[in-house]
A and B are shown apart, each in its own frame.
Chain A
């Protein structure tokens, strides 16, 4: 009797262990999964103002969030069909490579080692950033060299952690580090004076500073020490899904370039094809590009209509009229001398 109970217990334990693996093994393409589920699971950072955060009225907002909303509009016809999953800098790649989320849209830098090692594929840069430094204003520090011997607050598993080691090592400067996973804890440790400086993507620092009680007590140094092309990752080995996310981003950038906004997109779509064939191809009134991606022909129309073009997304979330007051800088269109150079839709 006792033995039998033991046997049953052992077998159920094995079942418990094996169950999720079997479920995980049966994986179709992400697009089919998303369409079947009726929603997109989007991995975000949850507390980065202007990029992905919960607003006071309980809605997800930000540039990274808008990319997921645009993909939901393009694939499901409804920008609100997104389930947001909070990820940390540490667990984000495990989440995307295991298929727990469909898109990792969390201001993540595109690097060779991540593309090669981590079981994830990068789509396209969504925001060009660089690594900067913030210190306590009372120190009166004006350049990075003054931070020799300082203690830095760092997020684990970020490019900032490695860039800092490289940069300080090369310059022969010393530093100490405090590595805390949860960014709210990290910034609070910095404010309490545990660290002399904090280093991260420049926009991340600026976004955080707006949330501090006394933003003027902290200075952001003018120097940046790295290139940080930020954008979305998808799980490795699903070319169709990667195309969809990449081209949704390009569609929004092309829309800005062609002057298509959420306000005038209906009017543009109703205009005769011959008036502007580029716009007609983008909005799906000419050609079958959407269908070739496995979507409706109105994929880009839905994304622009419901979320806005790249310029609108930038202005709504981080632009001069928001608390962050970012200039477009590197993120201007190539036609204005910036780096936003979307591949053509044709």
Chain B
């Protein structure tokens, strides 16, 4: 009886304490917001998000959706958001590829390979990201001018205006073709998912890669062929000040992509190395005893077991890539921070709203990434039953 009452008292006390702190925090936030709005009123700055429907009046050269200065600030926000997403996804893909490669090289039995990869990782991760960025940007700008552009197989051009590559001409891919491709990819991955779900996780058995690649490539192709979509290449040609046709990866995008990927790959390499080395020695010996060759043992036994401890750390590296993409502002890549947090903020004076919008967007990006990675982590988690 006495013990229960003490416990209850402790619980009540703790609830009261926590409630009081919560109230205090809420009160402080209320006061901050109130104070800010009073001060803004006094300075004649209107608050609220009404400005988002006004005409933006500034240009964003690199846009994934149609955009002109006559569009609204909200459209400019969407353009910035998509640019952030694009460079983040591109960097995540390249960083993962390079990182896994470097990480596996780090634990290689070959002395030269492991030392070289060690040196590279140490060099890359000990140089600040901004320096990487400025280095790559200077490098791209040091390329020849448009008129002396380096031709790559007569279809792509590398110049100080970036990399101009052929792209599907307007209307061919963007319409039905893209839809069919997506549908094919979706069907392919669904089928693979079902197939994989039936396979017990044992790392042995036939390799699944042919099946996965087949599903991801053959199915969209099939869909594309049976659809009435047509694909026409739009090959860039030198014209006036730049190139006509094709798609240009601007120097800003290239620099940001390379800098982010290469810098982050060094972190992924260390995570991969750590995870591989965390697999108990006994597993190597067991593989050896079962007659696995070292390379096969790595691919079939060690790496599958290393994936699980990797996920949380790789997640935080991915989150860092997304957040670090905001450094695009240094080289003038118009992502979220440069568009909404930069020019829009400056023209409208709505500092609090613009920054809140940018913060909320990054928060959503990060939470979604975490959720996806947690889901994946759950899927690849070691089954103990």
Q: List chain A residues, Cβ under 8 A from B142.
A: 192
**Chain B, 50-73, CB within 8 A of any chain A CB:** 57-61, 68-70
Interface status of A329 (Cβ within 8 A of chain B): no
Contacts A97-B45, A156-B338; A176 near B242 (Cβ below 8 A): yes
Kindly report which residue of chain A lies nearest to residue B239, judged by CB atoms: A149
| A177 lies within 8 A of B59 (CB) | yes
Interface status of B174 (Cβ within 8 A of chain A): no
Interface status of A179 (Cβ within 8 A of chain B): yes
Instruction: Give Cα A274 to B220, complex, Å.
Output: 96
Q: List chain A residues, Cβ under 8 A from B251.
A: 194
Residue picked from B28, B251, B343, most chain A C-beta under 10 Å: B343
Q: List chain A residues, Cβ under 8 A from B160.
A: 192-194
Q: List chain A residues, Cβ under 8 A from B69.
A: 165-166, 169
Q: List chain A residues, Cβ under 8 A from B329.
A: 181
Interface status of A112 (Cβ within 8 A of chain B): no
| A150 lies within 8 A of B241 (CB) | yes
| B349 lies within 8 A of A93 (CB) | yes
Interface status of B181 (Cβ within 8 A of chain A): no
Cβ contact of B57, chosen from A165, A181, A194, cutoff 8 A: A165
Count of chain B residues with a beta carbon within 8 Å of a chain A beta carbon: 51
Interface status of B25 (Cβ within 8 A of chain A): yes
Contacts A93-B346, A113-B347, A194-B141; A161 near B58 (Cβ below 8 A): yes
Instruction: Give Cα A90 to B57, complex, Å.
Output: 16
Interface status of B342 (Cβ within 8 A of chain A): yes
Interface status of A28 (Cβ within 8 A of chain B): no
| A18 lies within 8 A of B343 (CB) | no
Interface status of B227 (Cβ within 8 A of chain A): no
Contacts A21-B35, A169-B69, A179-B343; A3 near B242 (Cβ below 8 A): no
Pick out which of these stretches binds chain B: A116-124, A217-225, A254-262, A331-339: A116-124
Interface residues, chain A, CB within 8 Å of chain B?
3, 7, 10-11, 14, 17-18, 21, 25, 89-90, 93-94, 97, 113-114, 116-119, 147-151, 156-157, 161-162, 164-166, 169, 175-182, 185-186, 189, 192-194, 196, 235-237
Q: List 5 A-B contacts (CB under 8 A).
A: A150-B240, A156-B346, A157-B347, A161-B59, A166-B69
**Top 7 nearest A-B pairs by Cβ distance?**
A157-B346, A119-B43, A165-B69, A180-B332, A118-B349, A192-B141, A176-B61
